[in-house]
Amino acid sequence: MDLSTEICGIELTGPVLNGSGTFDVLAARRVFGDALVEEFPFDCYVSKTITMNPRPGNPPYRLWETPSGMINSIGLPGPGLEGFLERDLAGLAELGVPLIVSVMADCAEDFEVLVRRVAARDEVAGIELNVSCPNVHSGLIVGEQPSETEALMKALRPITGKPLIVKLTPNVANPEEVALGAEAGGADAVSMINTVKAAAIDPGDNRTWLGVGAGGLSGPAVRPIALAQVRVVAAAVEIPVVGMGGISDAESALEFILAGARVVAVGTENFRDPRAGSAVTSGLPAALARRGFGSLAEAQSARLD
Amino acid sequence: MRAEARPQAPFGRRPCEVADSRASGGYHIFTLIDSEGPAPAPGQFYMLAAAPEWGGEGGRPYLPRAISYARVAENLTGGLRLDFLIDEVGPGTSRLARMEPGDSCHLTGPFGSRFSLPRELNPEAAGAILVGGGIGIAPMAVLRRELVDRGIPSRSLLGFRDQAHSGGVDELFGCDSTRLAFEDGSSGHKGYVTDLLLQLLEGDDASSAAVYSCGPPAMLEAVRQICLQREIPVELALESPMACGYGACFGCAVPKADGGYLRLCIDGPVVRGEEIATAMAGEPSVG
């Protein structure tokens, strides 16, 4: 069955991406060798979030297992923009699939630098904007405010003709309003959901478990929340939706397509199986056929009753 | 003589048959048949998840568990026999302990760094001192066998809380050159295994020592301090909350001595004592 598709003009061999920050290809290549590239599990690779300056990440503990999921508070460790462009980007360009680079900043000025520098590189097909950081000027988390999101997009849109994808947070009452703000500002797509705010209590001590107190929940535990939000957002905007949140197999991936996502991303499941993306892809034809679809495109254009 | 580079893990998780599962002291030993993977190196670990009913009752366990192997042998009908020593401390380890022969277990790996040889740590090394605590005796057993195979002398010091938490010793170590410490005094030295280490270092020429250790964080930190104060090279096999084992999740952060963090899954689990700020950061979160 033909699974090829596209997302805002980026041609894809299939609809399966990875969630940003859930698959470090440079580390995985050290561990698994060239098999990682030869059998690359995704149709498009989304980098972990790049920031202006290097970041060490949050103090431990960073992980907590929950029923059907996990909480993380990793804190975006990374080499910073220069380190990424000089050292990491070349390795990400060897994968043979389109590359989307995720960026985050705490002000529009830094966002502009990140987008300009990253978009200028031929290896980069598109940019995902991680807007779950507070704006240093307003103190507001950009992605929680439709107006802030629209204003940021309006500032970034003139910089590049490459696709700009806004990663939406689920931690708002009305995600479709933020999505509409992104669309009005010129976004080419939205991806959703980011993790759900969550905390855990240390079983052996009267304190929070995670080093910074709270984090984000992911895995199948959040899938129903993600499906509801994807459905609402896909109905509200014209631009395509990258759907994610607890996808663990082809069936759950197809649920997101039916909820209105054009393509999907596998995140936490990668931790359980490094080839989870391939497992989703290989199961899609049967999952589509079981629901009566003759192609991926049929499912993408189907609407739920 | 140098240790070989770390083996490369097959890409993806693979089902392995459970060949054996048995109680050992207060712990549990199970055997998996790995028909695909390369022989692991001492210090390395695998990510394990029972194939059926993982994530069953109450949705936990959800993530695979990082477990060091305790023994490796050729399987008569092909592949490797991998032994794992576990203590039932949570839903994951309990589920693994309940696996029965014929069951299937998802396995990914081998992952992580390996122990150096004593002469790589200390050109003057006459042999190795292995300090294991509790479930942490497993990597020490693997290292001891490698040293025996290479004709390198070693002494093993093993510490346990009590008899109910002391499995695997006879099976994995035999009785030669092994000294035991029990905190409750039920056998061997009454007290901590670090008491035995201090005795040994007092009697020895510390300049010819190379120390290896695996065990609970407090024990590892004590071993680390003892060695650093005496300028004795020491390698520690640490444990940390870990979701993936291959560098994807960034969960297994251990503070480095010079600032920042290392990822224990790919930069460890075997680290030099002076590389890290503390061994206390590592602790299994999920059992």
Q: What is the pLDDT of residues A44-69, one digit of tens each?
A: 999 999 999 999 999 999 999 999 99
Q: What residues of chain B lie within 8 A of the CB of A31, using their CB?
A: 8-9, 111, 246-247, 266
Query: CB of A111 within 8 A of CB of A155?
Result: yes
What whole-number distance in Å separates Cα of residue B21 and Cα of residue A288?
41
Same domain, B105 and B193: no
Q: Do A274 and B247 touch (CB under 8 A)?
A: no
What's the pLDDT score for residue A11?
98
One domain, residues B135 and B207: yes
Tell me, yes or no, whether B63 lies in a domain.
Answer: yes
Total domains present in chain B? 2
Residue-range definition of the domain harbouring residue B123: 118-275
Residue A188 domain-assigned? yes
Residue A173 CB contacts under 8 Å (≥ 6 apart), including other chains:
none
B285, part of any domain: no
CA distance B101 to A173: 50
A208 found inside a domain: no
Partner residue opposite A271 with nearest CB, options B58, B244, B254: B244
Chain A residue numbers with beta carbons less than 8 Å from the beta carbon of B94 are none
At B186-237, the pLDDT tens digits run 989 999 999 999 999 988 777 888 999 999 999 999 999 999 999 999 999 9
What CA–CA distance (Å, rounded) separates A27 from B267?
A: 10
> What percentage of chain A exceeds 90 in pLDDT?
94
At A39, the amino acid letter reads E
Rounded to an integer, what distance in angstroms lies between the CA atom of residue B249 and that of residue B271? 19
The pLDDT, as a whole number, for residue A191 is 98
Tell me the two tokens of residue A90: 């070349």
The answer to whether position A178 is within a domain reads: yes
Asked whether residue A209 is assigned to any structural domain, the reply reads: no
Q: What is the pLDDT along chain B (287 residues), one digit of tens a residue?
A: 566 778 999 999 999 999 999 999 889 999 999 999 999 999 999 999 999 778 766 789 999 999 999 999 999 999 999 999 999 999 999 999 999 999 999 999 999 999 999 999 999 999 999 999 999 999 999 999 999 999 999 999 999 999 888 888 888 987 667 999 999 999 899 999 999 999 999 887 778 889 999 999 999 999 999 999 999 999 999 999 899 999 999 999 999 999 999 999 999 999 999 999 999 875 554 57
Final residue belonging to a domain, choices B88, B111, B134: B111
**Amino acid identity of B2?**
R
Contacting residues for B27 by C-beta, under 8 A, at least 6 apart: B85, B86, B87, B135, B165, B166, B167, B168
Write the secondary structure of chain A as one string of H (helix), E (strand) and C (coil): CCCCEEECCEEECCCEEECCCCCCHHHHHHHHCCHHHHCCCCCEEECCCECCCCECCCCCCCEEEECCEEEECCCCCECHHHHHHHHHHHHHCCCCCCEEEEECCCCHHHHHHHHHHHHCCCCCCEEEEECCCECCCCCCEHHHCHHHHHHHHHHHHHHCCCCEEEECCCCCCCHHHHHHHHHHCCCCEEEECCCEEECCECCCCCCECCCCCCEEEECHHHHHHHHHHHHHHHHHCCCCEEEECCCCCHHHHHHHHHHCCCEEEECCHHHHCCCHHHHHHHHHHHHHHHCCCCCHHHHHHCCCC
Residues B162 and B27 in one domain: no
How does pLDDT run across A104-139, given as a tens digit for each residue?
A: 999 999 999 999 999 999 999 999 999 987 777 888
Residue with tokens 């035999």: B174
CB contact set of B31 (below 8 Å; sequence gap of 6+) = B18, B19, B20, B21, B81, B82, B83, B84
Residue B5 within any structural domain of the chain: no
pLDDT in tens, A201-249: 998 889 999 989 899 999 999 999 999 999 999 999 999 999 999 999 9
B240 and A32 in contact by Cβ < 8 A? Answer: no
Number of domains in chain A: 1
* Inter-residue contact B113 to B269 (CB < 8 Å): yes
Nearest CB to A274: which of B240, B246, B285? B246
Answer with the one of B46, B79, B111 that is the final residue of a domain. Answer: B111
Is A159 within the bounds of a domain?
A: yes
Is the model's pLDDT at A90 over the cut of 70?
yes
**Tokens read off for B155:** 């002494």
Q: Name the percent of chain B lying above pLDDT 90.
A: 80
Does a structural domain hold residue A207?
A: no
**Predicted pLDDT of residue B52:** 76
Q: Which of A180, A175, A176, A165 is nearest to A262 (CA)?
A: A165
Cβ within 8 Å, pair B11-A32:
yes
How many other C-beta atoms lie within 10 A of the C-beta of residue A141?
Answer: 17
Structural domain range at position A254: 5-58+68-197+215-301
Q: Is residue A205 part of a domain?
A: no
First vs last Cα of chain B: how many Å apart?
Answer: 37
Closest CA of chain A from B183, distance in Å: 21
List B83's β-bridge partners, or say none.
B31, B71
Q: Could you tell me the CATH number of the domain that includes residue B197? A: 3.40.50.80
Chain A positions touching B243 (Cβ under 8 A) are: 63, 70, 72, 268, 271-272
**Average pLDDT of the segment spanning A151-165:** 98
Ramachandran quadrant class, B157 (left: phi over 0; alpha: psi -120 to 50; beta: rest): beta
Among residues A289, A303, A264, A291, which one has the least CA distance to residue A2?
A289
Give the pLDDT band of residue A259 (cuts 50, 70, 90).
Answer: very high
CA-CA-CA-CA dihedral for A90, A95, A97, A103, to nearest 10:
-50
The answer to the question of residue B58 being in a domain is yes
**Hey, are the CB atoms on B106 and A273 less than 8 Å from each other?**
yes
- CB of A24 within 8 Å of a chain B CB? The answer is yes
Report residue A65 as tokens: 């297992």
Give one word for B99, left, alpha or beta, with left for phi > 0 and alpha for psi -120 to 50: beta
Q: Are residues B131 and B230 in the same domain?
A: yes
- Residue indicated by tokens 């440079």: A26
Structural domain contains residue A105:
yes
Q: What is the CATH number of the domain that holds A287?
A: 3.20.20.70
B5 in contact with A at a CB cutoff of 8 Å? no
The residue among B111, B141, B161 that closes a domain is B111
**Cis geometry, peptide bond prior to residue B269 (ω within 30 degrees of 0):** yes
Q: What gap in Å lies between CA B82 and CA B73, rounded to an integer?
A: 7
Residue B1 lies in a domain: no
Q: Taking the CA atoms of B5, B241, A44 and A48 in sequence, report the sign of the dihedral they define.
A: negative
Residue A72 pLDDT: 95
Q: How far apart are CA A61 and CA B243, in angstroms?
A: 12
Same domain, B96 and B129: no
With respect to residue B6, please indicate whether it lies within any of the assigned structural domains. Answer: no
Residue B176 falls inside a structural domain: yes
CATH code where residue B34 lies: 2.40.30.10
| Cross-chain CB nearest to B250 (options A69, A74, A273) | A74
Model pLDDT, residue B168 = 86
Predicted-complex ipTM score = 0.94
Shared domain for B100 and B167, answered yes or no, is no
Q: Which residues contact A228 (CB under 8 A, 6 or more apart)?
A: none
B145 shares its domain with B270? yes
At position A128, the amino acid (one-letter code) is: E
Catalytic residues of A: 133
Report the alpha-carbon distance of residue B246 to residue B264 in Å, rounded. 10
Whether B3 is covered by a domain: the verdict is no
pLDDT band of A305, cuts 50, 70, 90: confident
Do residues B152 and B207 share a domain? Answer: yes
